[in-house]
Structure 1
Amino acid sequence: MSGIGAPELSARNCGDLRVAVIAAQWHEPVMNGLVDGALRALRDLGIDEPTVLAVPGSFELPAAAKAMASLGYDAIVALGVVIRGGTPHFDYICQGVTQGLTQVAVDTSVPVAFGVLTCDTEEQALDRAGLPGSTEDKGHQAATAAVATATVLRSVTTAAALDR
């Protein structure tokens, strides 16, 4: 199981963070589980009004993430699913999405959680989607990671300002 060894993340004093959840529309049952998990995590952390955007597919996630980062969001949760098929399309999409989301985070210093499932089968995706019977809840994990990272970055920024 891929969730073995995952850290126990927590975040405090984060209810004032502006968080965007950006979700691809392919594979609706999986995406519904990922979005529900992310929104549940944000509610658990005291973030009651995240912005939720839908984009056509996972390939569009980086452009939307960059737009939200430029609008001053503190954290972004990118959710999608790409299931391997019989062509190299899977490899190109996964590589582009991974590099694009990483570039947004590096260029903007806004945490972008990678909640994009890259699976060989639909069954693997469903098992990670946080649905009843799933063994993992990657939407919840991604949202928690984004907020935990945002709080770390805020503490670093605050400490640097106090040192001046």
Structure 2
Amino acid sequence: MSGHGSPTLTVDGSGLRVAVVAASWHEPVMDGLLDGARRALADSGVEQSLTLRVPGTFELPVAASRLAGAGFDAVVALGVVVRGGTPHFEYVCQAATSGLTDVAVRTGVPVGFGVLTCDDDKQALDRAGLPGSHEDKGYEATVAAISTALTLRDVRLPETSSPVGAP
């Protein structure tokens, strides 16, 4: 099981603003991921949250970028891509992973990665946090984003009296 060895995180996200952006494809899986994210927000004491839906996993990075620039302390991206008979799987997985990583690094806003990349529907359902699932990746991605936001909240970059490169 891929969740073996995962950390147990308990976080107090009260006072944080967290956005969840979720794809719409594979509705049963997405419903489970969203429910997990909502439980994590509630368990963490986050009272200010927004949920935004986009058509698919490919659209997650642009939505996450807009949300990260809108003053949210963390963004959670939820999606699922199930392998098919064409290279589409690899293209979408790579674009979503690279795009979401770029958003986090470029903006400094943590992005919880709740994108399932599965070989079949059974694997996706097993990670969706549904009754009978072995993992709850929506919950895990949300707690990870909140935990990272809390860790970074007190990190201050050194202030300079002049822009970088100025004499």
TM-score calculated relative to the size of structure 1: 0.94
For 1:74, the equivalent position in structure 2 comes to: 73
- Tell me how large the CA RMSD over aligned residues is: 1.3
| SS of structure 2 residue aligned to 1:80 | strand
After superposition, the C-alpha distances for 1:35-55 in whole angstroms (9 at most, x for unaligned) are 000010010000134100000
| SS of structure 1 residue aligned to 2:154 | helix
- Name the CA distance, whole Å, in 1 between partners of 2:158 and 2:71: 20
For 1:125, the equivalent position in structure 2 comes to: 124
- Name the CA distance, whole Å, in 1 between partners of 2:154 and 2:42: 22
| SS of structure 1 residue aligned to 2:113 | strand
For 2:6, the equivalent position in structure 1 comes to: 6
Q: Which runs of 5+ in 1 are unaligned?
A: none
For 2:85, the equivalent position in structure 1 comes to: 86
- Name the CA distance, whole Å, in 2 between partners of 1:65 and 1:153: 18
Larger Rg: 2
Q: Which runs of 4+ in 1 moved over 4 A?
A: none
- Name the CA distance, whole Å, in 1 between partners of 2:154 and 2:127: 31
- Name the CA distance, whole Å, in 2 between partners of 1:134 and 1:160: 45
- Name the CA distance, whole Å, in 2 between partners of 1:131 and 1:105: 28
For 1:55, the equivalent position in structure 2 comes to: 54
**1:11-30 alignment to 2 at 5 Å?**
11-12=11-12, 14-30=13-29
**1:90-105 alignment to 2 at 5 Å?**
90-105=89-104
After superposition, the C-alpha distances for 1:7-40 in whole angstroms (9 at most, x for unaligned) are 111223x211110000000000000000000010
- Name the CA distance, whole Å, in 2 between partners of 1:95 and 1:33: 23
- Name the CA distance, whole Å, in 1 between partners of 2:28 and 2:48: 23
Contact 2:15 2:47 in 1 (8 A): no
Higher helix share: 1
Q: Which amino acid aligns with 1:66?
A: S
Contact 2:81 2:117 in 1 (8 A): yes
Give the fraction of aligned pairs with identical amino acids, expressed as a percent: 63
Superposition deviation, residue 155 in structure 1? 2.1
Contact 2:22 2:79 in 1 (8 A): yes
Q: How many residues align?
A: 159
After superposition, the C-alpha distances for 1:96-133 in whole angstroms (9 at most, x for unaligned) are 00000000000000000110000000000000000000
Contact 2:61 2:103 in 1 (8 A): yes
Superposition deviation, residue 160 in structure 1? 6.5
Contact 2:17 2:47 in 1 (8 A): no
